[in-house]
Amino acid sequence: MYENEEIVVETVEFQDETIVCKDCGKEFVFTAGEQAFYKEKGFMNKPKACKACRDAKKNAQKEPREYFTVVCSECGGEAKVTFQPSEDRPVYCSACFAKRRQPRD
Ligand SMILES: [Zn+2]
Ligand SMILES: [Zn+2]
């Protein structure tokens, strides 16, 4: 008697998993999609903290942006720039900078 060969496809099924955040103690869901993503990236460890806490930590590590106050070469108004302005180059406030970038008719 002829038997159909059974084809076994191995699939890794991910299921949503609830984890308690080590930082805030709240439960969060480590979703199936995230688990697949972690596996794809080769991350061995499950997240220990919820997304909010992880984001907060990420942001805390970032250096606060330093602003330099300059006087706009065009309108004379005060402008804040994120780079150290050099003295031999004109600096513009965002409004004047945008204006200058527009092609003139
Ligand atoms: Zn948390
Ligand atoms: Zn200006």
Ligand minimally distant from the alpha carbon of residue 95:
2
> Do the Cβ atoms of 35 and 63 come closer than 8 Å?
no
Ligand 1 centroid to residue 43 C-alpha, Å: 20
| Model confidence pLDDT, tens digit, residues 48-91 | 999 999 998 888 777 667 788 889 999 999 988 877 778 788 88
Residue 85 domain boundaries: 68-101
C-alpha 11 to ligand 2 mean position (Å): 61
Whether the pTM exceeds 0.75: the reply is no
Domain count, the chain: 2
From the CA of 91, the nearest ligand is: 2
Instruction: Count how many Cα atoms sit within 13 Å of the Cα of residue 41 in the half-sphere of its side chain.
Output: 10
What dihedral angle (degrees, nearest 10) is formed by the CA atoms of 38, 39, 41, 47?
Answer: 30
Q: Within a domain: residue 46?
A: yes
**Residue 94 within a domain:** yes
Considering the chain, what percentage of its residues have pLDDT values greater than 90? 45
Dist. CA 100 → ligand 2 center (Å):
10
Is residue 12 included in any domain, yes or no? no
- Average pLDDT of the chain? 85
- Ligand 1 centroid–CA 25 distance in Å is 6
Kindly indicate the confidence band of residue 5, based on its pLDDT and cuts at 50, 70 and 90.
low
Q: Cα dihedral angle (27, 33, 34, 38), rounded to 10 degrees?
A: 140
Q: Is residue 53 part of a domain?
A: yes
